[in-house]
Chains A and B, each alone.
Chain A
């Protein structure tokens, strides 16, 4: 008679533990991947460096056109509109404050992360997942190669660096395009916003912003790799794991961003 009740609580317990267990696995995986002493000693090898460079080219350089486009579009849609709207009801310093908070620190990081998840995250999962399915990874292990060091770490480091640089690039394009648009269509005096915004960037917030982007990028690469390595034998697992990697990356990045906002909020106050 008690069996259904215990089964219910058992299932409830399992369900409640699922998320913490997943987050813990991701954290552990990321720390393990980023541990420079994975094979007992720190040693740079050219094969891993080449994987890192390829990842930087794919995630960073190849993403520049789409990031530029997004930057210009959001510059016109957000930066220009924020300036035009807020200056009617507030002071110039408030406009600058809103632009640095929203466009520079938040929008750039989030939009870049979304692009990175869509482009690189999914590609990493498919790439590594296919290698696992075809038993290519086993072939490498048999040659004494540490998979983390050769395939995963360069991808995680690559996405982290790419996220940081792309985010800065996006912020610059977004602010510059909005201000230039207003200077061209309304009044050249709007150009002063460029120097004012640059002066408003506090070193402490900037460091937090860089750390946040590095973390976002590392997590995107790490979650994508983690799900790729969960693929076992069937080809149908690959799209399932890719979808999980994308959805989970988005969720984790948004939650983490909220936590960063709280941290930055205290520094603003």
Chain B
């Protein structure tokens, strides 16, 4: 029996940093049902790693394969399909400001001819319930709260049936009491997909992460569980834990 083809397989992957230098190498192989968390002091650096894994950022060295294909050789016409399967949502979570929240949800699915409009509306309504959206989805994004905007951005991507969700700290603009709303949705969603996120929400990492990557100044450390992470002897990890652990 052939092993399952990883959606993302990074081998000694070094992203190109803004200074032009190469970042520390990372080895990552996604598995269905896994929640992968990237931790570190430098949040911008974490986003660079996320963007590199999504195939959006320039690679300095190493290889990145998306569904077994090296990103360097993926033809331009295949990217739209890959972007649907591997969704990257930035910290800014920008929705289209001129369209209502609900139209933002169904627009990309309509663009990709995913289904008929009534079916898409039904699907969007179900997903809004799943994520416990309490706002007015007919309002323009400018009139929504940060939590509602994040929820809509996530649903907009999920509407395309992705297999991997890459999120740059979705909890970034939220109040701590709003964290659990997203956490519950992520955990349920990740049962059938792969969630990769950069975050400083250690509570989520502690409870749900199966793969933890700590992006340090000189090295990227891998831990297979929270306990392993806590037991780490690396000084940067200890420093991080001292700062962020509850």
Q: Which residues of A contact B (CB under 8 A)?
A: 39-40, 43, 45-48, 50, 127, 130-131, 134-136, 138-146, 150
Q: Convert B136-166 into 0s and 1s, putting 1 for each residue whose CB lies closer than 8 angstroms to a CB of A.
A: 0000000000000000010011001000000
A47 to B111, CA, bound (A): 5
B59 at the interface (CB under 8 A from A): no
Given contacts A45-B111, A47-B108, A143-B108, contact A136 B94 (CB under 8 A): yes
Given contacts A39-B77, A139-B153, contact A145 B108 (CB under 8 A): yes
Q: Which of B80, B81, B87, B89 contacts A146 (CB 8 A)?
A: B80
Q: B residues within 8 A CB of A141?
A: 83
Given contacts A134-B97, A140-B108, A142-B56, contact A43 B83 (CB under 8 A): no
Q: A residues within 8 A CB of B71?
A: none
Quick one: which of B48-77 are within 8 Å of A by CB? 54, 56, 77
A144 to B84, CA, bound (A): 6
Q: B residues within 8 A CB of A131?
A: 96-98
A133 to B160, CA, bound (A): 25
Quick one: which of B72-104 are within 8 Å of A by CB? 77, 79-84, 87-90, 92-98
Would you list 30 pairs from A and B whose C-beta atoms are within 8 A, ordered by A residue?
A43-B113, A47-B108, A47-B110, A47-B111, A48-B111, A127-B98, A130-B97, A131-B96, A131-B97, A134-B92, A135-B90, A135-B92, A136-B94, A136-B96, A136-B97, A138-B90, A139-B93, A139-B153, A140-B96, A142-B54, A142-B56, A142-B83, A142-B87, A143-B84, A144-B108, A144-B160, A145-B80, A145-B108, A145-B112, A150-B111
Q: How far is the CB of B124 from chain A (nearest CB, A)?
A: 14
Given contacts A134-B97, A136-B95, A136-B96, contact A142 B88 (CB under 8 A): yes
Q: Which of A50, A143, A150 contacts B160 (CB 8 A)?
A: A143
The total of interchain contacts (Cβ-Cβ below 8 angstroms) comes to: 75
Q: A residues within 8 A CB of B217?
A: none
B107 at the interface (CB under 8 A from A): yes
A39 to B157, CA, bound (A): 21
B191 at the interface (CB under 8 A from A): no
Q: A residues within 8 A CB of B238?
A: none
Q: Which residues of B contact A (CB under 8 A)?
A: 54, 56, 77, 79-84, 87-90, 92-98, 107-108, 110-113, 117, 153, 156-157, 160
A141 to B89, CA, bound (A): 11
Q: How far is the CB of B99 from chain A (nearest CB, A)?
A: 10
A142 to B89, CA, bound (A): 7
By the criterion CB–CB under 8 Å, are B77 and A40 in contact?
yes
Q: B residues within 8 A CB of A136?
A: 94-97
By the criterion CB–CB under 8 Å, are B82 and A144 in contact?
yes
A45 to B120, CA, bound (A): 14
Q: How far is the CB of B7 from chain A (nearest CB, A)?
A: 15
Q: List the B residue with the shortest CB-CB distance to A135.
A: B94
Q: How far is the CB of B116 from chain A (nearest CB, A)?
A: 9
Q: How far is the CB of A44 from chain B (nearest CB, A)?
A: 9
Q: A residues within 8 A CB of B157?
A: 143
Q: A residues within 8 A CB of B87?
A: 142-143
By the criterion CB–CB under 8 Å, are A143 and B83 in contact?
yes
Given contacts A142-B56, A143-B83, A143-B157, contact A47 B107 (CB under 8 A): yes
Q: A residues within 8 A CB of B80?
A: 39, 144-146
Q: How far is the CB of A42 from chain B (nearest CB, A)?
A: 13
Q: A residues within 8 A CB of B82?
A: 144
A145 to B92, CA, bound (A): 18
Q: How far is the CB of A133 from chain B (nearest CB, A)?
A: 10
Q: How far is the CB of B68 from chain A (nearest CB, A)?
A: 19
Q: List the B residue with the shortest CB-CB distance to A137.
A: B94
Q: Which of A40, A46, A134 contacts B117 (CB 8 A)?
A: A46
A14 to B96, CA, bound (A): 38
Q: How far is the CB of A191 from chain B (nearest CB, A)?
A: 47
Q: A residues within 8 A CB of B83?
A: 141-144
Q: List the A residue with the shortest CB-CB distance to B113.
A: A45
Q: B residues within 8 A CB of A50?
A: 110
By the criterion CB–CB under 8 Å, are B160 and A134 in contact?
no
A145 to B97, CA, bound (A): 16
A26 to B122, CA, bound (A): 42
By the criterion CB–CB under 8 Å, are A46 and B94 in contact?
no
By the criterion CB–CB under 8 Å, are B95 and A145 in contact?
no
Given contacts A45-B111, A45-B112, A47-B111, contact A144 B97 (CB under 8 A): no
Q: A residues within 8 A CB of B54?
A: 142
Q: How far is the CB of A39 from chain B (nearest CB, A)?
A: 6
By the criterion CB–CB under 8 Å, are B111 and A139 in contact?
no
Q: How far is the CB of B241 from chain A (nearest CB, A)?
A: 32
Q: B residues within 8 A CB of A45?
A: 110-113
Q: B residues within 8 A CB of A127?
A: 98
